[in-house]
Amino acid sequence: MDMIPIRQLADTNQEQFNVGRFSIRSISDVAKGKDLAHDLHKHDFYFILALETGRGFHEIDFVRYQIEPNAVFILRPGQVHQLKLSADSKGYLIEFDHSFYQPKNSAVEYQWKKATGINHCEVEKDRFSKLLGYLSNSLTEFGLKQEGYMEAIRANMDLFFIELVRQSKNPGQILPASYSYTQERYEELLRLLETNITSIKSVSQYADMLHLSVYQLNAITKASVNKTTTELINEQILLEAKRYLLATANQIKDIAWHLGYEDTSYFIRYFKNQTGHTPDAFRKNFK
């Protein structure tokens, strides 16, 4: 069974090892004057691509975005993506794990969670320069590594996410008092699904893991995305299946086994019922 390649962010020094992993580079330094091409893979860290200029495409969990100026892409750990960028692209590539950056201030935490809930954001040119300023500051701090540089980087990241969320359609939206709790539990569920979907597919088991009743968990998912927990479980199963169908050459029976289905025929029927295609047809039609 071939696994989807998982790229890891190396620890650059012992000091960083103790406080998490972080890296920031300019796109021009990464590309070195050549087109940049990354085949399908996933990360064990957050990945942010902020592009001032460039051409190409960025495909995230099989949704393809054409590269446009003044765009920000955010990937959560575990998402599958591939990227092709022209050699003349300009911007920044930021990589970090949860240990390095996780806002503690509730207001900034909300901005952070809202920003990481989307994969792609186009920003007005005049406002994009402000985002670039925060990233430029972070790159300088990361390069000089003067006293307090990690705190300075985190402060710039806070400002980056606040400014990015201001580009949303309803930046001044007033949230209900229950939002923080509901959103927090919903995001916990998403993390559990990403990690455990190959072995756990029962609503009641996820409810137990979150110390909630099935009714409470369904109320949370309904309030968050107007879907039942069962629907979210099915979506995660299908997403994992699609990842392996399109990113590997594994046989259908091996993918079924990886997803926890001993009966390959049942998995094929389930996949076709959910998508309208057999796994083999999906692979041939969409790869």
Residue 167: name the closest of 126, 110, 122 by CA: 122
User: How confident is the model at residue 182, as a pLDDT?
Assistant: 82
Q: What percent of the chain has pLDDT over 90?
A: 67
Is there a single domain that holds both residue 74 and residue 139?
yes
pLDDT confidence of 17, banded at 50, 70, 90? very low
User: How confident is the model at residue 1, as a pLDDT?
Assistant: 81
Average pLDDT in the chain = 89
Q: What angle do CA 139, 144, 148 make, to 5 degrees?
A: 90
User: How confident is the model at residue 12, as a pLDDT?
Assistant: 52
Residue 171 lies in a domain: no
pTM for the whole thing? 0.79
Is there a single domain that holds both residue 28 and residue 72?
yes
Is there a single domain that holds both residue 21 and residue 157?
yes
| Top-confidence residue, 187 or 193 | 193
| Top-confidence residue, 208 or 191 | 208
Other Cβ atoms closer than 10 A to 263: 12
For residue 86, CA distances in Å to 39, 54, 121 come to 15, 6, 19
Residue 259 lies in a domain: yes
Average pLDDT rounded to a whole number, residues 83-100: 94
pLDDT confidence of 181, banded at 50, 70, 90? confident
Is there a single domain that holds both residue 227 and residue 280?
yes
Is there a single domain that holds both residue 194 and residue 228?
yes
Domain boundary among 137, 165, 193: 165
Burial class (CB in 10 A: 0-12, 13-18, 19+), 215: exposed
Average pLDDT rounded to a whole number, residues 247-270: 95
The CATH number for 53's domain is: 2.60.120.280
Residue 83 lies in a domain: yes
Query: Would the pLDDT of 204 be above 60?
Result: yes
User: How confident is the model at residue 180, as a pLDDT?
Assistant: 67
Torsion of CA 259, 261, 265, 269, to 10 degrees: -60
Residue 1 lies in a domain: no
Q: Which residues contact 154 (CB under 8 A, 6 or more apart)?
A: 100, 101
User: How confident is the model at residue 203, as a pLDDT?
Assistant: 97
Lowest mean pLDDT, pick from 45-49, 81-85, 212-216, 283-287: 283-287
For residue 131, CA distances in Å to 52, 88, 125, 138 come to 10, 20, 10, 11
Query: Would the pLDDT of 13 be above 60?
Result: no
Domain boundary among 165, 191, 217: 165
User: How confident is the model at residue 134, as a pLDDT?
Assistant: 97
For residue 284, CA distances in Å to 57, 73, 277 come to 21, 28, 10
Is there a single domain that holds both residue 66 and residue 101?
yes
Residue 170 lies in a domain: no
Residue 55: name the closest of 23, 84, 15, 98 by CA: 84
Q: What is the pLDDT of residues 142-177, one digit of tens each?
A: 999 999 999 999 999 999 999 998 876 444 444 444
pLDDT confidence of 224, banded at 50, 70, 90? confident
Other Cβ atoms closer than 10 A to 244: 23
What residue type is 13 in one-letter code?
Answer: N
- Count how many domains the chain has: 2
Is there a single domain that holds both residue 43 and residue 134?
yes
Question: Are the C-beta atoms of 65 and 57 separated by less than 8 Å?
Answer: yes
Is there a single domain that holds both residue 140 and residue 35?
yes
Is there a single domain that holds both residue 20 and residue 151?
yes
Where in the sequence is the domain holding 49, given as residue range(s)?
Answer: 6-165
